[in-house]
Amino acid sequence: MSRKHRSYLYLLIGFAAIIGLSFPFEAGLNSYDMRIVINVGISMILAASLNLINGFTGQFSLGHAGFMAIGAYTASALTTMVFGTTEGTTQELLFLVVLIAGGVSAAIAGLLIGIPSLRLKGDYLAIVTLGFGEIIRVVLQNIEPLGGSLGISGIPRYTTFIWTFGILAVLIFVTENLMRSTYGRGFLATRDDEIAAESVGVNTTKYKVTAFVVGAFFAGIAGGLYGHYNSLIRPLDFGFLKSVEIVVMVILGGMGSTWGVLLAAALLTYLPEALREVELFGIKFRDFRMTIYALSLILLMIFRPQGLLGDFNAEEFIRKIRGKPKKPATTET
């Protein structure tokens, strides 16, 4: 079986596993645990989509929450204002349509922001994307029909375990296939040495814009999922801090390591919740859970600077376990 066919098989297995898992999850977890799981899933989508821009292509973006906001607002506005809120009856097809609409509008924004990235590098690009994210937030705050600062409320709850992780599976599938194609080589070449890549004829422009568009698309979908789970979205939640949170997940996970980034997203979303209940030496951690969260960031970076799974290669690992000899060096990092 060719590699391409195998990846479709993996996707199918992934879907089956998610549907299979959803039953014990729905039955065994109380609604708080379930909410954590869904939030973890959404964080994973956000982090993995930013990883495409930041990790694989090396374009430092600080405006990912802006893409999420566009997706969340488009999807939520469509559901509440165009299709009407019919609580209880989850219209699966409708949900898919609004999610994709959210993704597409975010992708268009990604295209717009990808274009200046052609001329800018490093911190300058970071600032431009940051500015973009803030502009989105401030503009949303000033649009009265979209609820202004209160945001859109009363969004029906369509997001489920299957939706969240199904979309995550699609994202991983797209990422893995993209990375094995010419695009993937292009991304990595752009990241590793843009000048060298240009000089051997790699169209870095194309790869940068593609990374922005695909990354933004999935961030937009994550926004839609978030809105349809939390029942309310407001501009304040898509500020600079949210973007920073996502960047932290990517870097902590090890730039460019999909599994590491997913692990970091899960850890960083779960940690603040876990700290609510911890008590050590009679001191309740609840009161300063965010202080501990911040300290963990610093210590993790000092003691594991390559990221959680930064130098970990899943294929390499499996090969090692199977005892097969190491493949000759490839361009993959």
In this structure, the number of other CB atoms found within 10 A of the CB of residue 125 comes to 22
Q: Which is nearer to other proteins, 15 or 34 (CB)?
A: 34
Closest CB to other proteins among 1 and 279? 279
Candidates 11-19, 91-99, 171-179, 298-306: pick the segment binding other proteins (CB under 8 A).
298-306
Residue corresponding to tokens 């199904």:
166
Site for other proteins (CB under 8 A): which residue of 10, 21, 35, 332?
A: 35
Pick 275 or 309: Cβ nearer other proteins: 275
Instruction: Tell whether residue 276 is a contact of other proteins (CB under 8 A).
Output: yes
**Which residue, 178, 160, 321, is CA-closest to 258?**
178
Question: Are the CB atoms for 77 and 287 separated by under 8 Å?
Answer: no
| Shortest distance in whole angstroms from residue 221 CB to other proteins | 17
Q: Is 23 in the site for other proteins (CB under 8 A)?
A: no
Taking residues 41 to 80 in sequence order and writing x for each that binds other proteins by CB under 8 A, - otherwise, the string is -------------------x--------------------
Select from 13-21, 100-108, 118-126, 178-186 the region that touches other proteins (CB under 8 A): 118-126
85 binds other proteins per the rule CB under 8 A: yes
Q: Could you give the angle at the alpha carbon of 307 between the alpha carbons of 303 and 310, nearest 5°?
A: 125
- CB closer to other proteins out of 31 and 89: 31
| Residue 39 CB, nearest approach to other proteins (Å) | 6
Nearest CA to 76 out of 40, 93, 109, 101 is that of: 101
Binder of other proteins out of 5, 27, 145, 279 (CB under 8 A): 279
User: Does 273 participate in binding other proteins (rule CB under 8 A)?
Assistant: yes
286: which DSSP letter? G
Distance CA 45, CA 221 (A): 9
Contacts of 131 (CB under 8 A, 6+ apart): 63
Q: How far is the C-alpha of 132 from the C-alpha of 261, rounded, in Å?
A: 24
Find the binding residues for other proteins in span 146-205 (CB under 8 A). 148-151, 153-154, 157, 195-196, 199
Given a contact cutoff of 8 angstroms between Cβ atoms, the answer to whether 202 and 104 are in contact is: no
Angle between helices 182-192 and 161-180 (to 10 degrees): 80
Within 13 Å, how many C-alpha atoms sit on residue 92's CB side?
A: 4
Judged by CB under 8 A, the stretch of 2-10, 13-21, 177-185, 244-252 that binds other proteins is 244-252
Measured from the CB atom, the residue of 14 and 239 that comes closer to other proteins is 239
Kindly tell me which of 30 and 331 has the beta carbon lying closer to other proteins.
Answer: 30
